Each structure stands twice: as structure tokens, then as C-alpha cells.
Amino acid sequence: MSLTPGRAVVLFVLFVLGVLVGAAGALLQGGWFPAGLLLALLGAAGLFHGGARLTGGRSGALAPAGGWVLAVLLLTASRPEGDFLFGAGIGSYLFLLGGMVVAVMCATLGLSRQPAASAARLGK
């Protein structure tokens, strides 16, 4: 598919939503473990799958996944003071790995295309 200006805007908005979902998930998964972890991963999966459905292709899942990864990696980096957002618990690792697995699944699983109406009826 070609990159039109409208499609570029949609992908940019999906990227920004990915950053927001990644940051919100980083805060949520640590605050309400284990329900927060599940909610954060479900939110990310919904955004990735919804983006793929919206655009009709893999780029719709890759754009928010890129924003999610960017936000999560920036939040995992420690500051010069030694502070960081993620703790060293199992929940943080599950959030990082689970989010990446969900992003890869949504980006690689192709959206099944239905045959055209004329191709569906063989006797016609």
C-alpha cells in the first residue's frame, strides 16, 4: 500500500497512542500487580490489533508497537541519580516481554482477506 498523507497522519497518531499506552502501562503494571499487568497488556494488544484493523495492514500494528517500545525503553533507563520507573520484580519483566510478544503477534499475524463476492460463488 502506498503512503498517502492521510495514512501517514493515521500512523503518526497510532505511534503517539503507542507511546501513551506504553507509559500508562508501565505505571499501571507496577501499581496494581497482577491485575494491572493484565490490564496493561490487554490495552497494548487492543491498540496493536486495532491499528492493524484500522489500516488493513501490518503497518497499523507496527506504528503503535514502535511507540510502545520507545516509551518502555526510555522509562527503563536509569537516571544519573539512580532512579528508574521499573522495579526488578517479575511483573516488570512480564510486562516488557509480554508487550513485545503481543506486538510481534499482532504485526505478523496477517489479517485474513475475504474473497470478492463474485469469487465466492463458483456456479456464477
Predicted TM-score (pTM) of the model is: 0.82
CA gap 86, 31 in Å, rounded? 11
CA gap 94, 89 in Å, rounded? 9
- Full pLDDT tens readout for the chain, 124 residues: 678 899 999 999 999 999 999 999 988 887 888 899 999 999 999 999 999 999 888 899 999 999 999 999 888 877 777 666 666 678 888 989 999 999 999 888 866 565 666 655 666 5
Owner of C-alpha cell 505478523: 108
Looking at residue 80, its pLDDT comes to 74
Looking at residue 119, its pLDDT comes to 58
